[in-house]
Structure 1
Amino acid sequence: MNAHENRLFIGGRWTEPSGRRTITVTSAGTGELLGAVPEATTADVDHAVRAARTAFDTPGGWPSWEPERRAAAMVRLADELDARSEATASTVSAQNGMPISFSRAFEGSVPAALLRYYAALVSAAPRAEFRSGLPRGTTEVRREPVGVVAAVMSWNFPQTLAFFKLAPALAAGCTVVLKPAPETVLDSVLLAEAVAAAGLPAGVVGIVPAGREIGAYLVAHPGVDKVAFTGSTASGRRVAAACAALLRPVTLELGGKSAAVVLDDADLGADAGERFTTSFLNNGQTCFASTRILAPRSRYDEVVAVYTAMARDARVGDALDPATQIGPLVSSRQRERVEGYIGRGLADGARLTAGGGRPPGLDRGWFVEPTVFADVDNSSVIAQEEIFGPVLTVTPYEDEDDAVRLANDSVYGLAGSVWTTDLERGARVARRIRTGTIGLNGYLPDITSPYGGVKGSGLGRELGPEGLAAYQQLQSVYHP
């Protein structure tokens, strides 16, 4: 057990929790106990927000540091995260089932990359600019930090999602209270150790592991100035309602049911790795995964065969084995949810071409076979609702206009992909799809470009300069 797992990181130090309840974490692969941390109470949240408020409001504190000084502290934190990269990756994989090859590439690497990117960005960006539109004088337009941020994360990419928020917030001069998801709290201990080792001022980052009720308390806390949330669309609506009542700015990165539009000129023998990652990354526990495959009727059987083979050939096993492509789901409840959708697909008459059950020989843990359904109507439940597991649907379309219509026939709009040998044509199709992000012959978010959704997939953008702007507020100072 980590020496710090019985305390909370608040106010720049390890503190005794105010309550006695703990959050226990079990292995996704075996169901065995991995560890436990204290469950934060409302009193602990009050303490963390108060510490963040003090760190923000005290003259000479974090927001008043020169950008270069904040950037240097962020780079130190990146170095400390790098030193813990392998431990972070393996801890995340053990908790949520992410194959270790993906966890190393994302959870063990992206947070430090984000810190360095935003450190460089804020160092080069002017804090103010002067404009002149009046008969006389000028206006100084300043970008100031928004204040204390409540950051509430999901369990599927716990460290990456934390730094989607934490890196730009720190760069802007904000202080942050993080609430990790109960399913993945052990990696937050490593994060806290890195923050302490990097020497960030007390209160700039606090961590309060807890469930939904404490998360709601943090979101509505009077000491908070902004909320950044990643989670389901249903939960996002509740967060949005609370922030609307408080006139509190909020960034919401929510669910998705992204389409992979396979055009009739696609080379189905190419980009096998990209195709797998785009649809099956993190066992399908990825909000931007292209799980709704749209195939031209003229090549429908060929497309079904390619995705069926991809699912059947995927190596399913221990998340900590570098050869594993599909690991277990995060919990028994998540497996039951995914299996419920598989049952619904069968009941609705979809044709099962791969998977549909539990993999043989893996009796412990929360495994589901990579699953493909063909002959799926786009209006069916399994084509419209986010399953969040390794389940793909394949739906035929008649022509390019029909493909775009089907891609847009969704309550979501987070990501997507277009597969083609004609990139100009692919780009034209991509621009017609109503989504926040989309890729050609593959898809992954780019940390230098805005990421986020439309419709039921969220509000606002993370990453890129736009992600920094989300943690700043504008002030106009008029000069005669």
Structure 2
Amino acid sequence: MTTSDLDHLLARSRAAAAPWGSLTFGERERQLRRWATELVRSRTAVIATVCEETGKPRADAELELLVGLEHLRWTARHAGQTLRGRRVFPGILAAEHQARVERRPVGVVGVIGPWNYPVLTPLGVLAGALAAGNAAVFKPSEYTTQTGRAMVEAFARANPGSADVLRLLPGGAEAGEALCRGGVDKLAFTGSTRTGRAVMAACADTLTPVVLECGGNDALLVAEDADIGAAARAAAWGAFSNAGQTCAGVERIYVARAVGEEFLAALTAELEPVRAGHHYGRLTTPRQEEVVRVHVEDATANGGRFLIGGPESFRGAGLVDPVVLADVPEDRPAVREETFGPVVVVRLVRDLDEAVARANAVPQALGAAVFSRSAGAAVAGRLRAGMVSVNGMLTFAGVPGLPFGGNGASGFGRVHGREGLMEFTSAQAVTVRRADLTGSGLTRLRSPWWKPLVLRALIRLRHG
């Protein structure tokens, strides 16, 4: 699109935002439910497009659509309860007033989506923005443009009278930058930490607030009292599903030394038959394959060793069989940075205290998992991560009522759940005078004689 095209698109979105925001929550819920129905009707084409653009197996694309629809359904249903106005006790200084907090739509929300989950991730964000009463402009990744187009067109077919409420902005980095600078009222971005910094810098020029869900470098902690079989299965799925291209998937595993051999044997048995192209798909972009290769080569050149896989794991055309590394120094990119591929680093540790310290030692703080029969919940409270699964893997992503997001270099703000709905509104404080008990004596420029006496008494009696 040209700059003129984008200006026209944003103008239409802004014109659509006012009538959409004036609808009741129930009216918006019905339109969002019709969108979900249309996505189900067109699911065969949508799933085929996801598989073609990302390289996922069909079952993975179907699971992604299902989880996305669950988030859409929950958000549409709970927006009214979450965002309705609430009364606030006015306090002694404003006792003659009624006080309320109202949640107002921000206007037009720009959404920049990722290529790794091109349905689930933007659908959860768009659901929150639309259910809260905003219009949205969606820029999908340039690698998954047709998936984004299918989602937007499904909304238009389901709600032809509201088609301008959700518009598509195709393009790459230049389109994303133009959207950041184009005058949207809020921008939600999902992607790498590096790109997230660029998005934040572009939005700073216009003071556009942002929600950033950036990269993760998530740890799995395995305690001495863990269910080792369950932990190994979770590690395999968390590290290698979607070819490891999951922001909250497993990149690092810290295992109590007392159960280290047992865990590694269970993980090896779990991964021995797994092959790229069958159990999971290809790496979506050529650049990502190069990142994975560089991280593995650097790790092995600096003392790391292969527990599973090796150089032969790189089979070409984006297909990389599972790679499990051990003895990688903690300062190497395979540990410090997000590899975002079918590679996981394992380290044996003394106990959970050491595991927590190492898990928290990286800049990213998105997700984490803990396997322990007795200490899981307590350990979760000590992790910097924005989301933690105890004796499970990525389960927080499948609970529509839970917020999704991270801390540190993994970004800030939340999508999904009540917090995700609140992100796309602004708080408006409202007071309404119900009586005039003092003749406005406390707020008159020409004060009555008794005002100083009352103020001194209140200060002394209430705060002295």
- Name the TM tier (shorter chain): 0.7 to 0.9
- Give 2:17's match in structure 1, choosing from 31, 45, 56: 56
Map of 1:376 onto structure 2: 328
Q: CA RMSD in A?
A: 1.7
**Equivalence for 2:251:** 291
Q: Deviations over 1:332-390 (max 9, x none)?
A: 22212211111111111101111233558x66x31111100012232322111101100
1:115 aligned partner = 72
Question: Residues of 1 paired with 2:418 and 2:63: CA distance?
Answer: 23
Percent identity over paired residues: 37
- Alignment check: 8 A CA contact 1:275 1:441 kept: no
Distance apart, 1:130 and its partner CA: 2.3
The yes-or-no answer on 1:390 pairing with 2:350 is no
Q: 2:298 aligns with which of 344, 351, 361?
A: 344
Q: Which residue of 2 aligns with 1:241?
A: 201
Match of 2:37 among 79, 85, 90: 79
1:268 CA drift (Å): 1.6
1:178 is aligned to 2:128: no
Cα contact 1:308–1:372 (8 A) shared by 2? no
Amino acid at match of 2:212: L
**C-alpha separation in 1, matches of 2:151 and 2:194:** 28
Using a 3 Å threshold, how does the CA distance of structure 1 residues 144 and 187 change in structure 2: closer, same or farther? same
Whichever residue aligns with residue 461 of structure 1, its letter is R
| Deviation sequence 1:8-53 (CA, Å, 0-9, x none) | xxxxxxxxxxxxxxxxxxxxxxxxxxxxxxxx33333222211111
Would the alpha carbon gap of residues 243 and 189 (structure 1) be closer, same or farther in structure 2, given more than 3 Å must change?
Answer: closer
Task: State the alpha-carbon separation in 2 of the partners of residues 55 and 77 from structure 1.
Answer: 17
Aligned-partner residue type, residue 342 of structure 1: V
Shift of 1:478: 1.3
Deviation at 1:100, TM superposition (A): 2.1
In the alignment, the residues of structure 2 paired with residue 195 and residue 291 of structure 1 have an alpha-carbon distance, to the nearest angstrom, of 36
Which residue pairs with 1:460 in the alignment?
413
Question: Could you list the per-position Cα deviations for residues 184-235 of structure 1 after superposition, in whole angstroms to 9, with x for gaps in the alignment?
Answer: 111123212211211151320000111001101101112x100000010011
1:295 aligned partner, one-letter code: V
Unaligned runs of 5+ residues in structure 1 are 1-39, 318-323
Runs of 4+ with >4 A deviation = none
Q: TM-score scaled by structure 1?
A: 0.85
2:112, 2:139 within 8 Å by CA — same for their partners in 1? yes
Task: Trace 1:118-129 onto structure 2 (pairs within 5 A).
Answer: 118-125=75-82, 127-129=84-86
CA contact (8 A) 2:221 2:352 kept: no
CA shift for structure 1 position 266: 1.6
C-alpha deviation, 1:415, in angstroms: 0.2
- Show the counterpart of 1:219: 180
1:311 and 2:271 are equivalent in the alignment: yes
Mean Cα deviation higher: 297-306 or 404-413:
297-306
Alignment equivalent of 2:422, drawn from 460, 469, 479: 469
Aligned to 1:366: 318
Q: Contact 1:377 / 1:395 at 8 angstroms: preserved in 2?
A: no
Shift of 1:126: 5.5
SS at the partner of 2:215?
A: coil
8 Å Cα contact 2:99/2:432 also seen in 1: yes
Structure with more of its chain in helix, by fraction:
2
- Which of 139, 148, 163 in structure 2 is aligned with 1:188? 148
CA contact (8 A) 1:311 1:371 kept: no
2:118 pairs with one of 134, 154, 158:
158
Q: Which residue of 1 aligns with 2:283?
A: 329
CA–CA separation in structure 1 for the residues paired with 2:353 and 2:340:
28
Q: What is the aligned counterpart of 1:427 among 346, 353, 377? A: 377
Structure 1 CA distance for aligned equivalents of residues 285 and 311 of structure 2: 16
**2:404/2:416 contact within 8 Å kept:** yes
1:89: how far off?
Answer: 2.1
Q: Partner residue of 2:215?
A: 255
**3-state secondary structure, aligned to 2:212:** strand
CA distance, structure 1, for counterparts of residue 259 and residue 330 of structure 2: 18
Name which one, 1 or 2, has greater alpha-carbon Rg. Answer: 2
Residue type matched to 2:363 in 1? Answer: V
Partner Cα distance (1:450, 1:50) in 2: 31
Q: Determine helix, strand or coil for the equivalent of 2:199.
A: helix
| Residues 35 and 158, structure 2, Cα contact 8 Å, conserved in 1 | yes
Larger mean CA deviation between 226-235 and 344-353 belongs to 344-353
User: Which residue of the partner structure matches residue 436 of structure 2?
Assistant: none
Aligned residue pairs, count: 426
In 2: Cα distance, 1:258 partner to 1:442 partner? 14
Conserved? CA contact 2:232–2:267, under 8 Å? no
Task: Give the conservation status (yes or no) of the 8 Å contact 1:140–1:477.
Answer: yes
Residue 102 of structure 1 aligns to a residue whose secondary structure is helix
Show CA shifts across 1:393-423 (max 9, x none): 001211221111111111110001011233x
> How far apart, CA to CA, are the structure 2 residues paired with 1:139 and 1:303?
58
Q: 2:165 aligns with which of 174, 196, 204?
A: 204
Which stretch of structure 1 is more off in the superposition, 300-309 or 190-199?
300-309
Does the 8 Å CA contact 1:292/1:392 hold for their aligned counterparts? yes
The Cα of 1:124 is off from its aligned counterpart by: 3.4
Distance 1:287 1:443 in 2: 13
1:408 matched to 2:360: yes
The residue number in structure 2 matching 1:104 is: 62
Change (3 A) 1:229 1:348: same
**SS in structure 1 of the partner of residue 364 of structure 2:** coil
CA distance in 1, matches of 2:83, 2:300: 57
- Evaluate the alpha carbon distance shift between residue 42 and residue 179 of structure 1 in structure 2; reply closer, same or farther with a 3 A threshold: same
The 3 A distance-change label for structure 1 pair 149 and 419 is same
Give how far 1:273 is off.
4.3
Q: Does the CA-based 8 Å contact 1:448-1:465 persist in structure 2?
A: yes
- SS of 1:421's equivalent in the other structure is coil
